[in-house]
Amino acid sequence: MNLKKAAILLSGSLLMTLSGAVVHAAVDEADAQKLLKDSQCGKCHDEKRNKKGPSFKKTAAEYKGKPDAMALITKNLTEPHEVEVDGEKVEHGAVKTRDAARIKNLAEWILSR
């Protein structure tokens, strides 16, 4: 086996190991909760109970089976926009992090309620 071939084989198996790790990574419950708390989402959202905003359980049910669920939720968590609370338009707010992995984790947490 020449060196180039060996390198290709090696990087191939490395990639497989890495993607396997991503697939098997479970939602980090503690980090999702912390990010919700730090971003003050609890003012309007609860996991199971509707408050000013819908419960995360309700949102998860609404998005179940939709192929673009992750994209839509991520957009909702990161891009400023207005929502209506008691007939008034208010800033929705966004997560207090720019860490893509933490945002993805929170979106997955919401969708798995």
* Half-sphere exposure for 92 (CA within 13 Å, toward CB): 15
35: Cβ contacts below 8 Å, ≥ 6 apart: 95, 96, 97, 102, 103, 105, 106
Out of 33, 93, 97, 102, the residue judged to bind ligand HEC by CB under 6 A: 93
CA distance 98 to 73: 15
Minimum CB–partner distance for residue 27 and ligand HEC (Å):
14
Minimum CB–partner distance for residue 83 and ligand HEC (Å):
4
Residues numbered 38-57 forming contacts with ligand HEC, rule: CB under 6 A: 39-41, 43-45, 52-54
19 versus 50: smaller Cβ distance to ligand HEC: 50
Angle, CA of 85, 89 and 95, to the nearest 5°: 80
Residues lying near ligand HEC in the complex (CB under 6 A): 39-41, 43-45, 52-54, 59, 62, 72-73, 76-77, 83, 85, 90, 92-95, 110
